[in-house]
Structure 1
Amino acid sequence: MIDDRDRKILDILQRDAATPVTDIAEKVSLSISACSRRIQKLEESGYIARRIVVLDREKSGVPTTVYALVKTAHHADDWIEEFRRAISDIPEIVEAHRLTGHYDYILKVVLPRVEHYDVVYRRLVKRVELFDVSASISMETLKQGFAVPVDYAE
């Protein structure tokens, strides 16, 4: 069970994991050692899954985002595992979600330019059979973030 201080610590760390413990401790009114122990407990209990660095996509050479909507005629577990392996081997596919509704999956693909989508598409369809793929190019990012609400954490 976590309390409001823990939630505040989680909120601070997910916005910037490099925030010094001294700053976090001050913001949540704890001693540095008590704050450090809480962070360690949050890591051990799985609230903090990992700490990562978020790269600037422009500087990394992949400023373009394409969302690929995928339909498949296959829904067996072995096909899903094959699909999972195929998308895991393509670094440009940075997110994948199984959906309800008209399409089965949505893939977030980051690219150096829109023309590179065909390269990624060909790699994917060589690995796994798909019924239909429809792609949409992101024109503008209106909101982007990795922080999740901490109010629901128990």
Structure 2
Amino acid sequence: MPKIDAFDRKILNALQHEADLGLEELGDRVGLSRNACWRRIKALEDAKVIRGRVALLDAQKLNLGLNVFIQIKAAAHDAKWLDQFSRATRDMEQIQGVYRMTGDLDYLIRARVADMADYDRLYQTLVARVPMGDVSASFVMEEIKDTTALPLI
């Protein structure tokens, strides 16, 4: 793990809010030259602190307005089931996140779909690929906060 100093934090904070900033503008914002910024960004990329740069898309404008959280109880707790579940969920583009959880449920899935019919297709595909103990879903009615930015204090 590289040592992250105040300049690195400023660079990371700026880039996670606006990844397409030019080096001149970034340097002005953080108080470094463009070359110093480039070297630090390269070091952060080499250390995998910066894993990639992406464009954030508007789900509503792309007809993916329904955000759903799917709670899963596993049908089995063995390596074979986990491998089958992992492969199935990784291969489904609508699924944006899969998390193994503590508590009453085993896994939480975050997915984006167009509507209830699209969710039903996702559900049918998932249960056809992997035997499930129990599946329930909660649908987002209002997105109050949704960010990819990490808190860099």
Determine the C-alpha separation between the residues in 2 that align with 1:99 and 1:45.
28
Determine the C-alpha separation between the residues in 1 that align with 2:4 and 2:120.
47
Higher RCO structure, 1 or 2 (CA under 8 Å, sep 6+): 1
Determine the C-alpha separation between the residues in 2 that align with 1:141 and 1:125.
27
Matches within 5 A, 1:4-153: 4-151=6-153
- Per the normalisation by structure 2, the TM-score is 0.95
Deviations 1:7-26 (A, max 9, x none): 11001111111011111101
Determine the C-alpha separation between the residues in 1 that align with 2:95 and 2:143.
17
> Do the aligned residues in 2 keep the contact of 1:66 with 1:114 (CA within 8 Å)?
no
Shift of 1:39: 0.8
Deviations 1:62-103 (A, max 9, x none): 011111100013121221111011111211111111100001
> Do the aligned residues in 2 keep the contact of 1:25 with 1:35 (CA within 8 Å)?
yes
Number of residue pairs matched? 151
> Do the aligned residues in 2 keep the contact of 1:67 with 1:109 (CA within 8 Å)?
yes
**Structure 2 residues not aligned, in runs of 5+:** none
Deviations 1:14-46 (A, max 9, x none): 111101111110111111111111111111111
**3-state SS of the aligned residue for 1:51?**
coil
Matched letter for residue 71 of structure 2? L
Deviations 1:114-151 (A, max 9, x none): 22211000100111000100111110001000011223
Determine the C-alpha separation between the residues in 1 that align with 2:69 and 2:14.
30
> Do the aligned residues in 1 keep the contact of 2:59 with 2:65 (CA within 8 Å)?
yes
Shift of 1:54: 1.2
Determine the C-alpha separation between the residues in 1 that align with 2:47 and 2:119.
40
**Structure 1 residues not aligned, in runs of 5+:** none
